[in-house]
């Protein structure tokens, strides 16, 4: 019996080690086969936050600030929430912005190609699980839970539908290498089942398909989709349980201007006296991580999440200070319109993964770096370019040693 158990254990370990490559096939027959056995999970939790108990993040595509606010349906939503008028994407094109939104950096990425971030790089998922906070992704038209393929087209008309580049969790092998993490990356059909069953997680990232999110269409389609999706939820007690919803865009459409985008905070966690107001504090995608960290007292990633501003109404409850932009380079000269170099940049330049900054930012807040991150990177000689400052670099103002190659 002994050798048998032994080899079974080795087999299980080797399967687990390859989970990030197990579900990448995109042929219809492969997808049908995998769908039949794909694991879906809906773990729940109820960890109280200081300003909200549930966070739902909805990302739409490629729309400039004024165009977004000009859309009647987004304007309808904005009137029922707080408009963030000084919220910036971090680079172009799409994928690095999604990568940044959970990992605290985009590691030089300047493309939308198939990417696997090394498994020693942590994301907000590790921070949430560390505190027992349930999470999930709802990706419209993802063909089955845990699908890792580059894309899956609409089987009736061949149009773009689900794309991996808009699914932040799966790009990180720390997530894609674990079956139980893949099992909570689900499609929107599962959202409605989880709503019905009252098994929605506390942190969720929602991506409409390539038609619904405006990528292959325009803001009138993404605005309509978003209002159609959210309006019934705004009065649904199964969804609104001290819930904060962030609606934003991955990037501004016009590359030659600043990468400012519209963001709206809405939901029953938004204080009534703030409904219909505008907050012009400086935010970027890293604020989405910092706000969750402050709310639930999470550890940090030691990357650009540490210095990012927490959304003001949350900061007021967590004791965080919302700072104005005050870097050497004025905000007006920061375009965030192309990427510095790094390990995910495929045009050359420095390919070395930067290490997290393991020094806690005690001057700023009392959050500390996740112990497992400290453990993994202690003694690393990799360069560190993260500080507790608010300013983040861009292609024109790269971190030292990470100038983009021309
Ligand atoms: C959604 O995912 C489930 C679970 O894997 C799968 O059975 C279903 O076919 C998917 N739905 C769509 C619309 O692709
Ligand atoms: C995208 O989702 C919408 C509903 O939100 C659906 O009508 C449409 O068929 C889906 N796919 C494509 C390619 O449009
Ligand atoms: C969740 O709901 C679906 C249908 O809405 C049902 O088939 C499924 O059994 C439910 N799951 C649980 C765990 O209750
Ligand atoms: C970024 O914006 C600046 C200022 O408009 C412009 O000079 C530069 O060409 C832009 N870069 C890209 C890659 O579009
Ligand atoms: C950190 O925690 C201490 C003790 O609870 C508190 O006095 C201090 O104000 C906190 N500092 C910040 C920046 O939140
Ligand atoms: C993390 O992974 C990268 C890529 O494999 C490697 O270069 C780096 O040394 C690793 N860092 C640590 C601390 O293990
Ligand atoms: C098309 C367009 O003008 N888009 C917006 C992108 O963001 C800048 C501000 O940073 C706006 O002025 C633009 O309106």
Q: Report CA(60)–ligand 1 centroid distance (Å).
A: 22
d(CA 290, CA 309): 7
Residue 168 domain flag: yes
Residue 373 domain flag: yes
CATH of the domain at 61: 3.40.720
Give the pLDDT confidence score for residue 17 in this predicted structure. Answer: 53
The first and second tokens of residue 401, run together, are 């040693």
Residue 364 domain flag: yes
Give the pLDDT confidence score for residue 6 in this predicted structure. Answer: 40
User: Tokens 């087209």 label which residue?
Assistant: 153
Residue 404 domain flag: no
Residue spans of alpha helices (H) in 272-358? 286-296, 312-318
Residue 392 domain flag: no
Q: Which residues of the chain have pLDDT under 70?
A: 1-17
d(CA 140, CA 205): 11
93: preceding bond cis by omega (within 30 degrees)? yes
130 burial type by CB count under 10 A (0-12 exposed, 13-18 middle, 19+ buried):
middle
Q: Report CA(159)–ligand 5 centroid distance (Å).
A: 53
* Non-local CB neighbours of 229 within 8 Å, separated by 6+ positions: 58, 208
d(CA 62, CA 119): 29
Give the pLDDT confidence score for residue 251 in this predicted structure. Answer: 84
Rounded to two decimals, the pTM is 0.93
Residue 83 domain flag: yes
* Overall number of domains in the chain: 1
Q: Which ligand is closest to the CA of 219, given by its number?
A: 7
Question: Could you give the 3-state DSSP secondary structure of residue 17?
Answer: helix
Question: In 10 A of CB 332, how many CB atoms?
Answer: 8
Backbone φ and ψ for 181, nearest 5 degrees, come out as: -80, -40
- Residue 218 is among the residues annotated as catalytic for this protein: no
Q: Is the CB of residue 85 less than 8 Å from the CB of residue 277?
A: no
The first and second tokens of residue 295, run together, are 């709310």
**Residues of the domain holding 299:** 2-377
Give the pLDDT confidence score for residue 65 in this predicted structure. Answer: 84
Task: Report residues whose beta carbon is within 6 angstroms of any ligand 7 atom.
Answer: 64-66, 252, 254, 257-258, 260
The first and second tokens of residue 335, run together, are 């375009």
Helix (H) or strand (E) run with residue 186 in it: strand 185-186
Residue 387 domain flag: no
Mutation pick for ligand 4 pocket among 336, 338, 397 (CB with most ligand atoms within 8 Å)? 338
Atom of ligand 5 at shortest range from CA of 319: 14
Residue 383 domain flag: no
């Amino acid at each position: 019996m002994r050798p048998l158990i032994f080899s079974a254990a080795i087999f299980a370990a080797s399967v687990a080690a390859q989970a990030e490559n197990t579900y990448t096939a995109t042929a219809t027959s492969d997808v049908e086969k995998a769908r039949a056995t794909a694991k879906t999970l809906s773990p729940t939790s109820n960890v109280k936050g200081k300003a909200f108990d549930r966070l739902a993040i909805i990302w739409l595509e490629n729309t400039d600030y004024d165009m977004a606010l000009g859309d009647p349906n987004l304007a309808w939503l904005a009137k029922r929430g707080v408009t963030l008028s000084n919220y910036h994407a971090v680079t172009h094109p799409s994928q690095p912005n999604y990568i940044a939104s959970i990992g605290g950096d985009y590691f030089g990425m300047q493309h939308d190609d198939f990417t696997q971030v090394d498994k020693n790089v942590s994301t907000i998922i590790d921070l949430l699980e560390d505190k027992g906070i349930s999470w999930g992704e709802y990706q419209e038209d993802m063909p089955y839970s845990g699908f890792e393929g580059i894309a899956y087209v609409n089987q009736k008309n061949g149009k773009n539908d689900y794309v991996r580049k808009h699914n932040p969790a799966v790009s990180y092998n720390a997530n894609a290498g674990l079956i139980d993490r893949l099992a909570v990356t689900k499609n929107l059909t599962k959202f409605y089942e989880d709503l019905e069953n009252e098994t929605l997680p506390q942190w969720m990232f929602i991506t409409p398909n390539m038609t619904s999110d405006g990528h292959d269409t325009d803001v009138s389609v993404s605005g309509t989709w978003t209002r159609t999706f959210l309006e019934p939820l705004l009065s649904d007690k199964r969804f609104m349980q001290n819930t904060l919803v962030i609606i934003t865009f991955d990037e501004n459409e016009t590359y030659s201007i600043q990468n400012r985008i519209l963001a709206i905070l809405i939901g029953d966690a938004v204080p009534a006296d703030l409904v219909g107001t505008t907050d012009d504090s400086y935010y970027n995608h890293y604020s989405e991580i910092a706000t969750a960290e402050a709310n639930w007292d999470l550890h940090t990633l030691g990357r650009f999440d540490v210095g990012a501003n927490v959304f003001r109404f949350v900061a007021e409850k967590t004791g965080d200070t919302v700072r104005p932009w005050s870097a050497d380079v004025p905000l007006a000269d920061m375009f965030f319109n192309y990427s510095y170099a790094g390990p995910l940049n495929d045009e050359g330049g420095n390919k070395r993964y930067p290490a997290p900054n393991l020094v806690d930012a005690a001057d700023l807040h009392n959050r500390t770096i996740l112990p497992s991150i400290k453990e993994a990177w202690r003694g690393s000689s990799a360069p560190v370019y993260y500080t507790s400052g608010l300013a983040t670099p861009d292609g024109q103002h790269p971190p030292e040693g990470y100038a983009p190659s021309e």
